[in-house]
């Protein structure tokens, strides 16, 4: 079936920065088959017509670092940095120690609902409990890269069990049209032995996938590698063959500047999570310098125990302002570049740049619509569209969300998730969690 979308503004995010005002987008099932001004793509082209003449249509946002079950812990890390060993062990590990698999589905459904509501169409998750996360994500209709969390447990039996379970998970997703399995070591060097890193790389090679990790959150890896091997963490990653694979590196706050060239030459992506690092009292990543060096950069929310919100519009706003603040330079990273990070940058990170990240002929219809009659857009002609999107509006302007040409949100109503039921269950799970904590 052919669907014609009539957009008030069609923001493509293609390489040329093409904007049609108004613009028409023609879909055949899940694919974009034509787009342009109304005289090029006429009203008669579609079997059905969707009237978004009061809306801006743009590519869906990509959240490149999440831990979806952690919605259960939202509010429980206030005033605590989960980036420090103390916060990690005494807060997070304590919570994770009393939570169980039965509490995962509701938390993941709430996370998916919040991402959909605020215009995210694709996300990269990393956590354990992946086999409990997957069915909820599958039902939500979101596109996802699900990294099976691997925690090095020290003894050979548990290590083999972890690797076998991760392998089975990746195998189960090998034919999935929308969801891809990734490998999810928590962090290299900090809590993974070289032996398990070798096994993880074997797995990534076999399933043609990448590794989703935390990297350079603090100088832990750098110090460890300098002290033990006499080289930087990035050099050691190269030595071990890690940089031959796509790497989603959450935070990337303390990356050694001398190593930028090596990272730019590999499929490494620095995933900036500004709220999470700010709320933890950690410095801002060198976003401007990493981008200038040619490193792929993108944005994630991280867990909402730290960051509290899944709204990537807010996260773009904060990322842009934080880079201005860091550099003491207005416009340090322009709004258009920030939006590029949250769309094409995310697609590149996941190896899906030929499918998503921009609205172009041949790509998939992963798109969102924003209400142009709502606050923040004007005056027309003064504030450019990228500045409005990054600084003036929020995810609550999103009215519609499509993945693969299917509505996940229609007129601000969820189509695939049961938000109220999931929140009720989340509240009950929290009561139980709290009882176990006391």
Assigned token pair, 103: 């509490």
Q: Look at the alpha carbons of 239, 241, 246, 247 in this order and tell me if their dihedral is positive or negative.
A: negative
Using CB under 5 A as the binding rule, the residues of this chain from 138 to 167 that contact Zn ion are none
State which residue, 56 or 287, has the beta carbon closest to Zn ion: 287
The one segment of 228-236, 249-257, 264-272, 346-354 that binds Zn ion by CB under 5 A: 249-257
Look at the block and give the residue holding tokens 């613009």.
23
State which residue, 250 or 252, has the beta carbon closest to Zn ion: 250
Whether the CB-CB separation of 47 and 405 falls below 8 Å is answered with no
State which residue, 4 or 250, has the beta carbon closest to Zn ion: 250
Q: How far is the CB of 302 from Zn ion (least distance, A)?
A: 5
Q: How far is the CB of 83 from Zn ion (least distance, A)?
A: 9
Among residues 127, 210, 206, 199, which one has the least CA distance to residue 160? Answer: 199
State which residue, 95 or 364, has the beta carbon closest to Zn ion: 95
The one segment of 21-29, 113-121, 246-254, 336-344 that binds Zn ion by CB under 5 A: 246-254
Distance of alpha carbon 236 from alpha carbon 225, whole angstroms: 7
**Residues 261-300: x/- map of binding to Zn ion (CB under 5 A)?**
----------------------------------------
**Residues 161-200: x/- map of binding to Zn ion (CB under 5 A)?**
----------------------------------------
State which residue, 83 or 207, has the beta carbon closest to Zn ion: 83
The one segment of 22-30, 128-136, 243-251, 260-268 that binds Zn ion by CB under 5 A: 243-251
Distance of alpha carbon 104 from alpha carbon 95, whole angstroms: 13
Look at the block and give the residue holding tokens 């076998």.
164
Q: How far is the CB of 393 from Zn ion (least distance, A)?
A: 26
Distance of alpha carbon 74 from alpha carbon 305, whole angstroms: 4
Whether the CB-CB separation of 399 and 153 falls below 8 Å is answered with no
Whether the CB-CB separation of 63 and 309 falls below 8 Å is answered with no
State which residue, 147 or 250, has the beta carbon closest to Zn ion: 250
**221 near Zn ion, rule: CB under 5 A:** no
State which residue, 249 or 339, has the beta carbon closest to Zn ion: 249
Counting other chains too, the contacts that 192-196 makes at CB distance below 8 Å and 24 or more residues apart are 192/150, 192/152, 193/152, 194/240, 195/159, 196/150, 196/152, 196/159, 196/163
Assigned token pair, 208: 């043609």
DSSP H or E stretch at residue 8: strand 2-11
Counting other chains too, the contacts that 280-284 makes at CB distance below 8 Å and 24 or more residues apart are 280/81, 280/82, 280/83, 280/84, 280/87, 280/306, 281/81, 282/81, 282/83, 282/217, 282/218, 282/251, 282/253, 283/253, 283/254, 283/326, 284/253, 284/322, 284/323, 284/325, 284/326
Among residues 284, 291, 296, 206, which one has the least CA distance to residue 249? Answer: 296
State which residue, 146 or 369, has the beta carbon closest to Zn ion: 146
State which residue, 11 or 187, has the beta carbon closest to Zn ion: 187
The one segment of 113-121, 133-141, 218-226, 302-310 that binds Zn ion by CB under 5 A: 302-310
Q: How far is the CB of 214 from Zn ion (least distance, A)?
A: 5
Q: Which residue is nearest to Zn ion (CB)?
A: 302
**Residue 111: Cβ within 10 Å count:** 34
Using CB under 5 A as the binding rule, the residues of this chain from 386 to 425 that contact Zn ion are none
Q: How far is the CB of 303 from Zn ion (least distance, A)?
A: 6
The one segment of 38-46, 131-139, 247-255, 331-339 that binds Zn ion by CB under 5 A: 247-255
Give burial (CB, 10 Å; 0-12/13-18/19+) of 84.
middle
**302 near Zn ion, rule: CB under 5 A:** yes
State which residue, 26 or 250, has the beta carbon closest to Zn ion: 250
Q: How far is the CB of 429 from Zn ion (least distance, A)?
A: 21
The one segment of 193-201, 244-252, 261-269, 383-391 that binds Zn ion by CB under 5 A: 244-252
Number of residues that bind Zn ion (CB under 5 A): 2
The one segment of 136-144, 301-309, 374-382, 390-398 that binds Zn ion by CB under 5 A: 301-309
The one segment of 96-104, 131-139, 197-205, 245-253 that binds Zn ion by CB under 5 A: 245-253
Calculate the dihedral angle through the C-alpha atoms of 253, 82, 309, 95, rounding to the nearest 10 degrees: 150
**125 near Zn ion, rule: CB under 5 A:** no
State which residue, 305 or 422, has the beta carbon closest to Zn ion: 305
- Looking at the DSSP bridge assignments, the partners of residue 307 are none
Among residues 403, 385, 382, which one has the least CA distance to residue 59? Answer: 403
Distance of CA 47 to the CA centre of its chain: 34
Interaction site with Zn ion (CB under 5 A) = 250, 302
């Amino acid at each position: 079936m052919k669907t014609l979308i009539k957009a008030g503004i069609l923001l493509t995010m293609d390489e040329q920065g093409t904007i049609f005002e108004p613009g028409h987008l023609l879909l055949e099932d899940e694919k974009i088959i034509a787009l342009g001004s109304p005289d090029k793509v006429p009203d008669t082209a579609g079997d059905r017509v969707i009237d978004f003449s009061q809306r801006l249509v743009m590519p869906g946002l990509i959240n490149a670092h999440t831990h979806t079950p952690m919605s259960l812990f939202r509010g429980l890390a206030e005033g605590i940095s989960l980036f420090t060993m103390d916060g990690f062990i005494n807060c997070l590990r304590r919570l994770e120690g009393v939570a169980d698999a039965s509490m995962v589905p509701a938390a993941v459904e709430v996370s998916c609902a919040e991402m959909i509501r605020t215009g995210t169409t694709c996300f990269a998750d990393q956590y354990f409990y992946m086999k409990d996360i997957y069915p909820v994500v599958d039902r939500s209709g979101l596109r996802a890269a699900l990294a099976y969390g691997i925690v090095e447990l020290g003894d050979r039996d548990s290590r083999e069990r972890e690797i076998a379970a991760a392998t089975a998970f990746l195998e189960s997703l090998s034919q999935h049209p929308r969801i891809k399995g990734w490998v999810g070591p928590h962090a290299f060097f900090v809590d993974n032995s070289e032996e398990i890193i070798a096994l993880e790389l074997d797995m990534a090679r076999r399933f043609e996938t990448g590794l989703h990790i935390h990297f350079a959150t603090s100088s832990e890896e750098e110090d460890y590698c300098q002290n033990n091997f006499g080289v930087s963490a990035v050099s050691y990653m190269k030595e071990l063959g890690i940089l031959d694979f796509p790497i989603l590196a959450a935070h990337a706050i303390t990356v050694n500047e001398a190593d930028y060239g090596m990272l730019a030459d590999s499929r490494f992506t620095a995933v900036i999570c500004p709220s999470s690092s700010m709320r933890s009292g950690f410095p801002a990543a060198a976003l401007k310098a990493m981008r200038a060096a040619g490193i792929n950069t993108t944005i994630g929310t991280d867990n909402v125990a730290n960051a509290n919100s899944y709204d990537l519009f807010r996260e773009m706003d904060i990322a842009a302002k934080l880079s201005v603040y860091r550099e003491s330079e207005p416009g340090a990273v322009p709004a258009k570049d920030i939006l590029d990070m949250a769309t094409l940058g995310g697609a590149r990170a996941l190896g899906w740049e030929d499918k998503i990240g921009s609205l172009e002929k041949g790509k998939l219809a992963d798109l969102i619509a924003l209400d142009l009659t709502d606050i923040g857009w004007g005056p027309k002609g003064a504030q450019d569209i990228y500045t409005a999107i990054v600084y003036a509006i929020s995810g609550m302007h999103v009215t519609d969300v499509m993945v693969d040409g299917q509505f996940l949100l229609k007129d601000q109503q969820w189509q695939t998730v049961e938000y109220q039921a999931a929140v009720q269950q989340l509240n009950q799970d929290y009561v139980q969690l709290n009882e176990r904590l006391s």
